[in-house]
Amino acid sequence: MKTPFLWSVGSGIVWTGVAGAVAYAISPTDFSPRHFAGMFAGGIIAAPVIGLLIGRIARRFSALGRIPRFWMALGNLYLATYLFLLASGIGQVLSDWITHRHVETVQRRLVVDPLMGALFGLTYTGFVIVLLPLSYWNHARIGKAWREAAVYDDRRTT
């Protein structure tokens, strides 16, 4: 049963790199890797957990038809993006609280930015066209790992 979890955690880590590339590409100004790490530290830390969550949701991906697979991959892409941005916002709020002892923009960083970032960051920029096939492939790999783990478990119990 170890393989699906490893695929999911690895997936979360790889998608962190994808998120970094997307953030760098849509940023109006260039920023350094240190600035990126500061902005998205919460998301980077949460990425393996987000990967586990999406991997758990994708367990039955192999059992679905083609159209439901498409919608699951698309929905989970937006969900993972939202969760990554939410975790990044939480990291920014905590960082502001630790360094300045007050936070001015909690609602914007925890509600507006993650929601708008997920919707417009993927849709408006067109990155969903590139990332959707990657999400579908990722779901197929994780679904296959879950299916193979279930077959392996069935063999061990009989």
Which pLDDT tens digit goes with each residue over 63-87?
A: 899 999 999 999 999 999 899 889 9
**Is the pLDDT score of 143 beyond 50?**
yes
Q: How much is the pLDDT for 101?
A: 76
The whole-model pTM stands at 0.79
Which pLDDT tens digit goes with each residue over 34-53?
A: 666 677 788 888 888 888 88
**Is the pLDDT score of 120 beyond 70?**
yes
CB 42 within 8 A of CB 91: yes
Q: How much is the pLDDT for 157?
A: 63
| 98: nearest Cα among 38, 44, 147 | 38
- pLDDT cut 90: percent of the chain above it: 15
